[in-house]
Structure 1
Amino acid sequence: MNGIIYGDQNIFLPSHGNFGRYLLDNILKFKDKIALINGASDEKITFIELAQRAVNFTSYLKEQGVKQNDVVALCSENRIEFMVTVIAVFSSGATLACINNTYSDDEITHSLDIAKPKYIVLSPVTHQKYDKIIKSRKDIEKIIVFENTKNTDIINFDDIVSKRNVDVNTYKHVDLKGGTALILYSSGTTGLAKGAKITHTNLITSAQQPLPSTRDLSTIFVAPWSSTMGLICSLREIVKGKTIAFLSRFNERHYLNAIQKYKIAILTVAPPVVVILCKSTIAKEYDISSVEIIHCGGAPLNKSVITELKSKYPHIKYLVQGYGMTEATGSITAETEDEFKEGSVGKIVPGNIIKIVDVETRKILGPGQTGEVCVKGAAQFDGYIGKDSKDEFDEDGFYKTGDIAYYDEDGYFYVVDRIKELIKYKAWQVPPSELEDLLLQHPAVKDAAVSALPDVLAGELPIAFIVKQPNAKVTERDVVEFIDKKVSPWKRLRGGVIFVQEIPRTSSGKIIRRKLREMLPKLPASKL
């Protein structure tokens, strides 16, 4: 095997081009089978009920004049109405913008500035949290909120979906020719999130990529559905008729209880959850013997963790990994229970084309040679909203991932490093430059740099190096709390603060991050 690696290119693309319709056509096959279970409330919905509510909401959106290229924003914790909204917006032909429900005020403002939604759909929690910001925006025409409300300024989502009974089998969906279906926010090294444009073709392609198992096994998700891992993996399960249990956030006891209660067979998680299971002192209180497969993604998992996990839980037959990103609509490579090799992130998935190139010469490399991963194909995104993306691609149209990897003679890939300077905290991306810009706003900070402190549980923790202003009196706690107020939880300075005399820089002023890593303390425990 040499040169460019091709995944299966025989992807079924329906002539109507509408991912929402593609979803519904598949969902309707599973009728009264349970589709979603809220692991906290025990609320359930069948596939036919999910389709009915989605089509009801789609018909409302179309009646209101929502059309292709109009943007509907969705900001909510994981809940059944979230997935109803997702399917409905896709089906209507509009563009869905998924906004993280833990964003700071500055971050949600930036996200709305990028997407420019006409409508926004919220949970009661996010409505209360962001009410002032949303009301101040003239571009948002309608505010729709889950659950009943007496507020006459907003629209009641429950009224819309419960008071309609559109025929799900004969409803006429919008036929599409291309276009953006979804805006997912992908952090970069240069500041706030970028809005990645995901097309209907991207999503239809992704939906046909393999699951961890072809067997009819239930799975549980805790990743937020506003994230690529949470949303894309969940849609892939739904389209194939698998039952999903979910939680809105991770709590060890709630998670273990849901596994026990619903006899979950597959855990779809990021590495920190695997580490928590390995070190858990309360897992023995629950019967989680139903778990056969752990599907892990977001960051590479250490082999020692895999060994420890299987030793502690002998009923777990497979730990399969995957490698992907927003710009590839989820997976680039993946393992399954039928095709895996311990320590790898699997083989290329359908719809993708990969080449590994030398970082300096850009020469295509063969098996066992380490270089940058470049990817293209039917799953490749359509660039970023309002941003010239030409530098993100090479002359042959491959997206330059910035990740360093190699593949073996059998076609299994191994991710070893990354060129980009993003910090990975529990699979979340943290751009150092964003935190550096915020730190420099503190009156006592003269200069600042942010690096990644390795951590067994979280992967990496953001840690700041600070040069104080002359005679300034500022403590580590002052700096940490200053940042806490301005960023999402995963971007906090959980690695702490180190006060230094100067930040190592090149003659042109660029931070020498290699030297920062050399200055890192050897901390044995996580500061979570």
Structure 2
Amino acid sequence: MACTSKHDYNFDLKSGFSSKTRIFHSLRPKVQLPPPNLPLSAAQHAISLLKTSSLPLSNTTALIDSVSGTRVSFTEFLKQAESLSVSLKTNFSLKKGDVAFILSPNILQVPILYISLLSLGVIVSPANPASTVSEVSRQVGLTNPVIAFAVASTASKIPSLRYGTVFLDSSEFKSMLVNGVDNRNEVMVNQSDTAAILYSSGTTGRVKGVELTHRNFIALVSGFHAIRPVEENPPHPVAIFTVPLFHVFGFFMCVRAVALGETVVLMEKFDFVGMLKAVESYKVNYMPVSPPLVVAMAKLDVVDKFDLSSLLTVGCGGAPLGKEVSKKFIARFPHVEIVQGYGMTETSGGATRMLGPDETKKHGSVGRLAENMEAKIVHPDTGEALGPGQRGELWMRGPIIMKGDEGVGERPMRVPPIVSPPIPQLPVVRPQGPQDPIFQPRLNPNGQNRGLPMQEAARALPRDRNFWEQPIPRNARQENRGRSPSPPSPSTDRSGSRADREPNRQAGYVGDDEATTSTMDSDGWLKTGDLCYIDSDGFLYIVDRLKELIKYKAYQVPPAELEHLLQSHPEIADVALIPYPDEEAGQIPMAFVVRKPGRNLSAAQVMEFVAKQACLLKTKRFILNAYLGFILSVIAY
């Protein structure tokens, strides 16, 4: 079945694919966004959505500390954010466009700080608190912050800045949350202003700062608000954040939680058993996670010691989740839905999602395109835009992409637009009335590096005497992730002129025009670097990173396929796989395997298991000459 738009372009209503433009369109109802020229910050937008809800803000908890049980209500949250905004303007003369560097674990002060800075138009730039001094120095040099926020254990890593470093765990900061004097001189923030600079290896290998606008987060939050549950008396959402707040996943979840009035349980330092205990204690019903946690919950016996009956939904992102792991998780937790999504720092977070039980049954998929999004599947060599079921590089376009593009093209006319509630003119955040401190998934949450970093392996392997006496390769996957030359732009893009779309904003990778140009084309398409396909029903499947494919002779083998196969072994808790150089074959796989506790699985048994289940290509020399080692963990806690 096809639908004809006002541009007279036909597209399939099942897949969203237009055979004329070669573009895949979102099958979700289009969400109306605020006019682009309306002054509006991401914080204002989130708070406006919160205040249009029926939640009793004074009686609804916004934040909970998982260990101490300390709670902050939404009324207190808004008061503290407003007071902090006034204090920062008064004490430090912070102004719109200044950059604030943040080096902190997941503590209650961080979401309040985010909303406060966003409301002032100050650019939020959070980094991994486990970063080394040299890494922090590079990040600071990249973004030129004027002020930093840290805790006592991380502050010493930060160089001297114009306004110094504010300690989030100090009594002085606590006073800033309550002593701010009312100030009617509001900051006018434009949607095109930069909201955050988040650090990412991007699609071109080296670490860089991704510049995201307020418009990006407004679009993202509006989409989630449009699809929120509409049934009568739904359970109040209580989420535990296992994801770090400095990462795009955690950052946008903070803004989303404010907009949707979600209660958030924060863990300052990740602990798997502590997480299970918190789910039981605080009746958590939603958990955003990365795939290693799904693997652990599906396989580890300690899970049975806790009452997790409150848990209703697990939102999984960061890397593909294997079909067998999904099935094992569902078998163990039949009352829980696994909702998979796809996103990266450059997309401000989730660019695809699953809605409802029918979509969550699509094991192995990361869902359908989110509202207002478009995609292409492009042949990496020829630049040809491909159709449903064909593998190629994923290109994406839409209002959440780092350079921001409203998109054009054809929308399914059978679904009317969802109109977000009117945006009242609110004060900035003015309420009515009143050395490893964090979970670090070594399987990169961007889905851009699913191999175990070699520096981590080098530390982990000596602790396990069962390592299979093979050398650690010098060229880890993450060290060989530069992009191949960009293919030509598909000539089949006739989706409308640039005048039909919102103008591109001059955002991208901070101080790296070359990387921005190689990643974004002139029509607003983001080249993700991921090998993907979209099926006939419009569901996206991630195969692997293009540059992480194992080049075995004339074949290209996705490491993720072997990782998923190994994860299905009943005695394997987790696994990471990288290419290893080989003189004859070019590359062969090297696997790092984590045994389930108390198991004595041997390398020979693993090889035999793979050889029995893999295709012919993987049963000969490809597997028999692979390297395999046993390590303690693919996740660092």
TM-score by length of 1: 0.77
List per-residue Cα deviations over 1:389-411 (Å, max 9, x = no partner): 11112343211101111112221
Q: 1:363 is matched with which residue? A: 384
Return the alpha-carbon distance in structure 2 between the equivalents of residues 191 and 284 of structure 1.
40
Report Cα offsets for 1:380-434 as digits up to 9, x if no partner. Answer: 10210000111112343211101111112221111112213499xxxxxxxxxxx
CA distance in 2, matches of 1:519, 1:111: 41
Q: 1:459 to 1:24 in 2, by over 3 A?
A: farther
User: d(CA) in 2 for partners of 1:464 and 1:365?
Assistant: 31
**C-alpha separation between the residues in 2 aligned to 1:200 and 1:301?**
30
1:187 equivalent to 2:201? Answer yes
Superposition deviation, residue 80 in structure 1: 1.1
Q: Which residue of 1 aligns with 2:47?
A: 24
AA in 2 matched with 1:46:
S
Contact 1:13–1:201 (Cα < 8 Å) also in 2: no
Contact 1:23 1:87 in 2 (8 A): no
Question: Which residue of the partner structure matches residue 163 of structure 2?
Answer: 141
Distance 2:41 2:114 in 1: 13
What number of residue pairs does the alignment pair up? 439
In structure 2, relative to structure 1, the CA distance for the partners of 1:177 and 1:298 (3 Å cut) is closer
Taking a change above 3 Å as real, the CA distance of residues 171 and 51 of structure 1, as seen in their structure-2 partners, is: farther
Letter of the 2:348 partner, please give it: T
Query: Which letter maps to 2:523?
Result: D
- Matching of residue 390 in structure 1 with residue 517 in structure 2: yes
Give the conservation status (yes or no) of the 8 Å contact 1:213–1:337. no
Letter in 2 for 1:413: L
**Aligned pair in 2 of structure 1 residues 253, 391: CA closer, same or farther (>3 Å)?**
same
* Separation in structure 2 between the aligned mates of residue 162 and residue 463 of structure 1, nearest angstrom: 54
5+ residue gaps, structure 1, are 150-155, 424-450, 468-514
The alignment status of 1:460 with 2:576, answered yes or no, reads yes
Q: What amino acid is aligned across from residue 150 of structure 2 in structure 1?
A: L
* Residue 303 of structure 1, aligned match among 289, 304, 323: 323
State whether residues 359 and 371 of structure 1, in contact with CA within 8 Å, keep that contact through their aligned partners in structure 2: yes
Counterpart of 2:460 in structure 1 is none
Q: Distance in 2 between matches of 1:516 and 1:198?
A: 42
Question: After the TM superposition, which residues 125-164 of structure 1 pair with which residues of structure 2 at under 5 Å, given as runs?
Answer: 125-127=153-155, 131=156, 133-134=157-158, 136-137=159-160, 139-148=161-170, 156-164=172-180
For 1:177 and 1:323, how far apart are their aligned partners in 2? 24
Equivalent position of 2:555 in the other structure:
none
State yes or no: 1:118 paired with 2:146.
Answer: yes
User: In the superposition, relative to structure 1, how do residues 111 and 348 fare at CA in structure 2: closer, same or farther (>3 Å)?
Assistant: same
Contact residue 63 and residue 265 of structure 2 kept, 8 A: yes
Q: Report the secondary structure of 2:327's partner residue.
A: helix
Distance 1:27 1:213, change over 3 A: closer
- What secondary structure is seen at the aligned counterpart in 1 of 2:521? coil
CA contact (8 A) 2:291 2:317 kept: yes
The residue type paired with residue 259 of structure 1 is: V
1:56 maps to amino acid: S
Give the % identical residues: 29
User: Does 2:390 match 1:336?
Assistant: no
Are the aligned partners of 1:189 and 1:422 in contact in 2 as well (CA < 8 Å)? no
What stretches of structure 2 of length at least 5 have no aligned partner?
Answer: 1-11, 403-506, 551-558, 568-572, 584-620
Tell me if 1:41 matches 2:57.
Answer: no
* Cα separation, partners in 2 of 1:173 and 1:364, compared to 1, 3 Å: same
- Comparing 220-229 with 340-349, greater Cα deviation is found at 340-349
Match of 2:189 among 168, 171, 175: 175
1:25 CA drift (Å) = 2.3
Alignment equivalent of 1:91, drawn from 114, 119, 122: 119
Deviation at 1:292, TM superposition (A): 1.6
**Which of structure 1's runs of 4+ aligned residues deviate more than 6 A?**
462-467, 515-519
Q: Which residue of 1 aligns with 2:263?
A: 243
Shift of 1:109: 0.9
- Tell me how far apart the structure 2 counterparts of residues 180 and 524 of structure 1 sit (CA, whole Å): 44
Match of 2:257, SS? helix
Q: Which has the higher contact order (CA 8 A, sep 6+)?
A: 2
Alignment match, 1:474:
none
- Paired residues of 1:224 and 1:249 also in contact (CA < 8 A): no
Alignment of 1:64-463 (within 5 A): 64-127=92-155, 131=156, 133-134=157-158, 136-137=159-160, 139-148=161-170, 156-164=172-180, 166=182, 172-176=186-190, 178-188=192-202, 192-210=206-224, 214=229, 215=234, 216-316=236-336, 318-337=337-356, 339-340=359-360, 341-381=362-402, 382-388=507-513, 389-421=516-548, 454=563, 456=567, 457=573, 460=576
Deviation at 1:520, TM superposition (A): 4.1
Instruction: Give the Cα separation in 2 of the matches to 1:98 and 1:516.
Output: 42
How far 1:189 moved relative to its partner?
6.9
Q: Secondary structure at the match of 2:44?
A: helix
